[in-house]
Amino acid sequence: MSKILKKYSPSQIFVYSGVSKVNIFMQLIKYGFHRLIGTRFVETNVNNYRMKLDFKTLGLSKVLYIYGTREIPDTYIAKTEIKPGMVVADIGANIGYYSLIEALAVGETGHVYAFEPDPRNIQLLRDNIALNKMDDRVTVYEQAVSDKKERKTFQLGTRSNVSSFVDRPDVVGAVEVDCIALHEFEHIEEVDMLRMDAEGYECKIIEGVMPYLRSNKKPFKIMLEVHPKEYNDTDLNFKQNLKELFEIGFTVSHVVANKPHRSVYADLGYRPVISYSETRHIRDVYHNISHTDVLNLCDGKVRSIVIVRV
């Protein structure tokens, strides 16, 4: 609890769009109690499902317990973009936050293929799928996604939601993991959408799916978090990835950006269609950003993006 109070001012802690201040206060008290008595695992309501959380492993559990949601604009977009019957590849599934959103959205006729390489997350991911009786809708792959099939060293971050193949300063260990390229994935022809959070490695994941996307012109959606600090002009060139996707018919559907960049978007003629508050952050959602503008903005003024081919 003290760490939360140090990180955020009282006025920030209780600002979370769609979550009542009373509920936040009660969850903070309960979280402090669980920490005091040494509770490791707890079940709670997250969005409109149940999740088992792990207070010992640093990652998503604390914020999900206190607020019952996270990344509100991305959550909103996922629910908007995913339709019944769709098949989603969830890359970087972590403990199942988005996998469960996707499983509920695709319904009984759809499916989710969840990829997660961090061994600290695997059992909790499986537990959360089982807890919500979604075993028939979600298939878990204990492997990573890359641009080719290989075995590779995966760096474990201090928090289980920031592990990556990209070099990081906050590494607590490493494991060898199997990787697959999506164009070789046995179910790729079923997939309608990719959702990924790969801490910079999204560039390689996109490279791995490009052969399929070039040869198959089906409608397709890609939703991802952007990590400009990890990019470069050689092996992790996100702008080049976007250019190649635009060349084969993709356009920008949604962009999420932090409020400090609102004036930059305004100067380009864009206004947020909706904004959300998350503690000290205000995040704006924009629609239909031009190709040229998004290529210039993704150097640090885009938090996440959805591109689609219809």
Residues 231-288 pLDDT 10s: 999 999 999 999 999 999 999 999 999 989 999 999 999 999 999 999 989 999 999 9
- Asked whether the predicted pLDDT for residue 289 surpasses 90, the reply is yes
Mode of pairing for the β-strands spanning 87-91 and 111-115: parallel
Q: What is the pLDDT of residue 168?
A: 83
For the chain, how many helices (H) and strands (E)? 11, 14
- Asked whether the predicted pLDDT for residue 1 surpasses 90, the reply is no
CATH of domain 72-145+184-309: 3.40.50.150
Give the helix ranges, DSSP H, for 82-118: 97-106
Task: Judge contact between 110 and 88, C-beta under 8 A.
Answer: yes
Q: What is the pLDDT of residue 2?
A: 54
d(CA 16, CA 13): 8
- Asked whether the predicted pLDDT for residue 134 surpasses 60, the reply is yes
Print burial letters for 72-100: b (CB count within 10 Å at least 16), e (below 16): bbbbbbbeebbeeebbbbbbbbbbbbbbb
Residues 85-97 pLDDT 10s: 999 999 999 999 9
Beta bridge partners of 89: 113, 194
Instruction: Indicate the Cα dihedral angle 97, 98, 100, 101, nearest 10°.
Output: 120
Query: Where along the chain do its domains lie?
Result: 2-67, 72-145+184-309
Percentage of residues in the chain with pLDDT exceeding 90? 94
Whole-structure pTM value: 0.95
CA distances from 134 to 122, 198, 240 (A): 15, 24, 37
d(CA 43, CA 65): 9
- Asked whether the predicted pLDDT for residue 8 surpasses 70, the reply is no
DSSP assignment, residue 183?
A: G
Residues 18-61 pLDDT 10s: 999 999 999 999 999 999 999 999 999 999 999 999 999 999 99
**Average model confidence (pLDDT) for the chain?**
96
